[in-house]
């Protein structure tokens, strides 16, 4: 009697658990590049970014039942990844922070070959302060509009726009300076 009751209750639970596990794994595979890239572009450390991305997905697993849709999941992942990136940067004091304004100018112009230029831009991005860096990542990696970035990062739209303008101006100045140096 008790055994049959346990079977009746247990089997649907096991099936539901397996379904949940499969759905979660599919979500990890779908969004792993997004979460990892946010962490990697922010932290610029492959191993730390991967660990952080794993933690984000484990948190998603714990909150799986609260996620209402795919869009909600994407928004949730961006939000949690961003928050964890900021926490990680504060906790580890990853690098001896040198603001982009104070960063030394490069001695030679980086050739326009894409991989090198990409790496150079990544390095410049790494010199931005935490919040502006996240704003730039959300804008150019994730392609979000300022209002969407404001929603993800819990800040006013005007602040997002201000971070974007200042960051772009700084990055552009650094790149154009390097370009002039290379030409002369």
Footprint of other proteins on this chain (CB under 8 A)?
21, 24-25, 28-29, 32-34, 36-37, 40-41, 46, 49-50, 53-54, 57-58, 61, 114, 117-118, 121-122, 125, 136-137, 140-141, 143, 168, 171-172, 175
CB of 83 to other proteins, least distance (A): 19
CB of 25 to other proteins, least distance (A): 6
Between 89 and 144, name the residue whose CB sits nearer to other proteins.
144
Instruction: Judge whether 62 and 110 are in contact, CB under 8 Å.
Output: no
Between 94 and 175, name the residue whose CB sits nearer to other proteins.
175
The closest of 119, 122, 95 to 41, measured between CA atoms, is: 122
CB of 172 to other proteins, least distance (A): 5
Between 72 and 173, name the residue whose CB sits nearer to other proteins.
173
CB of 73 to other proteins, least distance (A): 15
What value does the CA radius of gyration of the chain take, rounded to a whole number of Å? Answer: 21
Angle (nearest 5°) at CA 43 between 38 and 48: 95
Between 2 and 47, name the residue whose CB sits nearer to other proteins.
47
Between 8 and 114, name the residue whose CB sits nearer to other proteins.
114
Instruction: Judge whether 66 and 77 are in contact, CB under 8 Å.
Output: no
DSSP 66: G
CB of 99 to other proteins, least distance (A): 19
CB of 118 to other proteins, least distance (A): 4
Between 29 and 93, name the residue whose CB sits nearer to other proteins.
29
| φ/ψ bin of 154: left (φ > 0), alpha (ψ from -120 to 50), beta (otherwise) | left
Give the three-state DSSP class for 167. helix
| φ/ψ bin of 113: left (φ > 0), alpha (ψ from -120 to 50), beta (otherwise) | beta
- Separation of CA 180 from chain center: 32
């Amino acid at each position: 009697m008790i055994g049959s009751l346990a079977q009746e209750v247990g089997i649907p639970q096991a099936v539901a658990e397996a379904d949940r596990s499969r759905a979660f794994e599919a979500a990890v595979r779908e969004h792993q590049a997004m979460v990892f890239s946010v962490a990697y572009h922010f932290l610029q450390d492959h191993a730390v970014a991967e660990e952080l991305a794993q933690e984000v997905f484990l948190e998603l697993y714990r909150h799986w039942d609260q996620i209402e849709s795919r869009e909600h999941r994407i928004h949730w992942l961006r939000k949690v990844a961003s928050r964890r990136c900021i926490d990680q940067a504060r906790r580890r004091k990853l690098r001896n922070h040198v603001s982009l304004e104070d960063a030394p100018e490069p001695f030679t112009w980086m050739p326009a070959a894409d991989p090198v230029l990409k790496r150079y831009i990544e390095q410049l991005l790494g010199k931005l302060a935490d919040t502006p860096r996240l704003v730039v990542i959300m804008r150019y990696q994730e392609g979000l509009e300022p209002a969407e970035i404001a929603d993800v990062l819990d800040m006013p739209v005007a602040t997002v726009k201000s971070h974007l303008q200042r960051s772009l101006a700084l990055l552009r100045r650094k790149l154009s300076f390097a370009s002039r140096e290379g030409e002369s």
